[in-house]
A and B are shown apart, each in its own frame.
Chain A
Amino acid sequence: MQDREAVQNAARESDAIAVERTLAGERDAFRGLVERHSQQLFRLAYRMTGNEHDAEEVVQEAFLRAYRNLGQFGSRANFGTWAYRIAANYAIDRMRQKRSEDARRQTPSVLAEEQDQDPLDLAPDERPTPDRLAMNTELRKKMEEALKELSSSERTAFVMRHWEGCAIEEIAAVLKTTTSAAKNTVFRSVQKLRRALEPYVGARGALQAKAAGAAPEPRGTQS
């Protein structure tokens, strides 16, 4: 535990030095920051946008913006958190823009086709592999669809909270809203995902949940 903290502190110090050197005109010092934080930013961006191409674009744009605005970055010790916030904000813009484009492109016949699909055809069965594998693929597809159905704010709130373990205050800062509104957005995203996925998760998920323990740990402890 102490080792982990020491590693984190060393990384922060190293980030702070790299920021100062970049500001002093050493462009190559920024390279270390990019190499250190790219993976984390990609994970966030992929979960928010739902596709690799967009996620890669978000990562690149986030670093470009960070570089252009490095002087505004007040606390030198947390470059990772700052870049993470820039990426989340850009991903929100990207999702909204894409959603508008998709809405313009989507024809009523496509919508009708989607509505005609019988949910029972997509329901998972309990048979073993290779059908089980097919079920997992189907469940993944349903997850992608359910996440896509969330609004950009809801998806951001859910990704930051559930996968990234962010505190409500941090989510509120990214969504530019109050903590109580951010909390509501997290709750609403969980409700929507539950409605969409419960029929496909079924007993398998419940068993997993029980195995993990009856009393869940509160989230949002890391930042």
Chain B
Amino acid sequence: MKHLTEEELIGYREGETTQREAIAEHLTSCTACRAELDRIEAVLSALDNFPVPERGPEYGRAVWQQIAPRLPEKAGRGWRAWFEPRRWVAIGAMAAVVVAAFVAGRWTKKPEPGAPTASVAQVRQRVLVLAVGEHLGKSEMVLMELANAAPPNAGQTEINISAEQRRAEDLLDTNRLYRETAEHDGDAALASVLDELERVLLDVAHSPQEVTPAQLETIRQRIEAHGILFKVRVVGKELNERQKTTNSAPAAPGADTRERNKA
């Protein structure tokens, strides 16, 4: 008799299976599978009793007292607010500032090459370039390993990608931080690549630990469809070049960002 897999039993327990009746029938006649389901159930029942500290009936009032001084005068109206007349005035003013900055930039003299322009912003930029370069290198390795994962041996129906998944999960945290920093610094090109990378890493992190060759192929196709491996390589290489350049001669703050955005 073929026993049920752990995944099938969890699916049955969670009510997330299309074969509910067949599994129920199997469980009536198979003591081994029933015992296995009992063991899963035992762990979940124990977790039912995991305590949550009590918050008294006054808790809601306490939360209000904490947040009330931090609330803005009016609640945000989301997208509806964009159609309010005062918002259009603000947008117009902002656009004027951007145009003025652009025109001023065209007319002002560029700094002499090699002039001592090192600043806190520049040092920060260098650290970011170094860290993101390293992060992209690690991400490239995970994606490469998945793209080149060996096909299963004879008799093996699934491939374990749990190691790559763990690394993808770890990379997700740092990726998000770097993406937010790049967005904040106005580095649109880097932010865009990191955003795409985040989606692929999420896909990998949310796949099953053991995948069939067909599932692995789907993951590969997703990586290829985004062209992310190529983009990661290009940006990673460019960051490395930047790092070498900035180490030998300091560039103006934000220069590499502008170049990358142009590209």
User: Which of B59-67, B100-108, B139-147, B246-254 contacts the other chain?
Assistant: B59-67
Does B214 have its Cβ within 8 Å of any Cβ on chain A?
A: no
Does A42 have its Cβ within 8 Å of any Cβ on chain B?
A: yes
Once the chains bind, are A218 and B14 in contact (CB under 8 Å)?
yes
A44 to B63, CA, bound (A): 15
Specify which chain B residues have a CB less than 8 angstroms from the CB of A132 in the assembled complex: none
Residue on B with the closest CB to A51? B53
Once the chains bind, are A64 and B40 in contact (CB under 8 Å)?
no
A87 to B44, CA, bound (A): 24
User: Would you list which residues of chain B between 165 and 200 have a CB under 8 Å from chain A?
Assistant: 166, 169-170, 172-174, 176-177
Contact with B along A161-198 (1 / 0, CB 8 A): 11000001000000111000111111110110110011
Contact with A along B62-90 (1 / 0, CB 8 A): 01101110111111111111000000000
Does A72 have its Cβ within 8 Å of any Cβ on chain B?
A: yes
Does A35 have its Cβ within 8 Å of any Cβ on chain B?
A: yes
Specify which chain B residues have a CB less than 8 angstroms from the CB of A216 in the assembled complex: 12-13, 37, 41
Once the chains bind, are B53 and A209 in contact (CB under 8 Å)?
no
A176 to B228, CA, bound (A): 19
Number of B residues near A (Cβ < 8 Å) is: 64
Does A84 have its Cβ within 8 Å of any Cβ on chain B?
A: no
Contact with A along B188-222 (1 / 0, CB 8 A): 00000000000000110111110000000000000
On whether A140 and B50 interact (CB within 8 A), knowing A96-B176, A175-B206, A181-B203, the answer reads: yes
Specify which chain B residues have a CB less than 8 angstroms from the CB of A194 in the assembled complex: 6, 39-40, 43
Residue on A with the closest CB to B61? A35
Specify which chain A residues have a CB less than 8 angstroms from the CB of B63 in the assembled complex: 34-35, 38, 56, 59-60, 63
Hey, which bits of chain A sit against chain B, CB under 8 A? 22-23, 25, 27, 30-31, 34-39, 42-43, 46-47, 52, 56, 59-60, 63-64, 67-73, 93, 96-97, 99-100, 103, 139-140, 143, 147, 151-153, 161-162, 168, 175-177, 181-188, 190-191, 193-194, 197-198, 201-202, 204-206, 208-210, 212, 214-221
9 A–B contact pairs at CB < 8 A?
A: A34-B64, A38-B63, A177-B206, A184-B206, A188-B209, A190-B10, A191-B10, A209-B38, A214-B27
